[in-house]
Structures are given as structure tokens and as C-alpha cells.
């Protein structure tokens, strides 16, 4: 299993608030709708391919529908939110680890895990490393008070 981690990010919010917001994917839909005009054109064109509900995010891909579902078995309140792929030809997951620094500051690290053949892992590693880094940065920019 290959692992790609973001840099540690400090978020100026309480750990419980962040956990509550990020562990319920249906909240992302409103955030995307409210900020669609700030997304790149290509991302706006693909918004209809993403669906959110209380337990996961479904994405239409060239390989068919893939759902990232909240993995209740490995999610630990309030320090870890884990998602696992359902219906994917490749086993993968996403985890968000949180650590309270004080009452209003939380450290966050995002991790992408994939089970890829060795030759394929070497080809896509740079993009996945960059993706994990950008996802970690994105989590820092979320307006948690308005989500």
C-alpha cells in the first residue's frame, strides 16, 4: 500500500468543529455550490459528476461510479476521519488526522493510500504526492464557521 501525506497544516478552529464538519460529506455540497464561481472552469464543468450524502462522496469516473464512504471502523472521533473507496478497481482510501494544539488551533495531515502495482505506483507517485499536499492545503482554507 502506497501512502502519500500532505504537509502539516494549522487550522484556526477547534478540533471538534473540524471533525464534525469533515465527517459529514453532505456539508461539502453547499460549500461547493456557494463557491463554484471560485473554482477553475474545468472543475465547474465536472460538478454534476459529484454527489454528496451523509456517509460519502460519489464520483462518476471513466471507470464508473466510485464512492468514497466514511469508514466508521477506522474513524476515531475527534482525531481521525477515514474514507474508503467503494466500487473502485483499485483499493484506496483517504484519511484526515487531527491533533488539538489548543482550544482554537488544530493540526491536520491528509493521507492518500493506494494499493497499486509497483510499476504503476512509480508512474503516478509525483501526482499523488502533489494531490495529497494540495488536499491538505485545501482543508486549511475551508470556512468551517459557514459550513
The overall pTM is greater than 0.75: yes
Q: Delineate the domains of the chain, giving CATH numbers in brackets.
A: 2-146 (3.30.530.20)
The more confident residue out of 97 and 58 is 97
Beta strands 64-70 and 80-86 are antiparallel
pLDDT digits (tens, 9 = 90+) for 34-65: 877 877 787 777 778 888 888 888 888 666 77
Q: Per mean pLDDT, which of 27-36, 78-87, 126-135 is the most reliable?
A: 78-87
Model pLDDT, residue 63: 64
Model pLDDT, residue 79: 98
Amino acid at each position: 500500500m502506497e501512502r502519500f501525506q500532505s504537509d502539516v497544516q494549522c487550522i484556526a478552529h477547534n478540533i471538534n468543529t473540524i471533525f464534525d464538519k469533515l465527517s459529514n460529506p453532505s456539508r461539502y455540497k453547499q460549500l461547493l455550490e456557494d463557491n463554484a464561481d471560485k473554482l477553475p472552469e474545468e472543475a465547474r464543468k465536472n460538478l454534476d459528476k459529484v454527489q454528496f450524502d451523509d456517509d460519502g462522496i460519489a464520483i462518476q469516473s471513466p471507470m464508473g461510479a466510485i464512492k468514497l464512504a466514511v469508514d466508521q471502523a477506522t474513524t476515531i472521533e475527534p482525531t481521525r476521519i477515514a474514507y474508503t473507496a467503494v466500487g473502485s478497481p483499485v483499493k484506496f482510501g483517504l484519511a484526515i488526522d487531527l491533533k488539538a494544539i489548543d482550544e482554537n488551533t488544530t493540526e491536520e495531515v491528509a493521507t492518500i493510500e493506494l494499493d497499486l502495482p509497483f510499476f504503476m505506483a512509480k508512474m503516478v507517485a509525483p501526482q499523488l504526492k502533489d494531490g495529497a499536499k494540495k488536499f491538505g492545503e485545501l482543508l486549511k482554507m475551508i470556512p468551517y464557521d459557514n459550513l
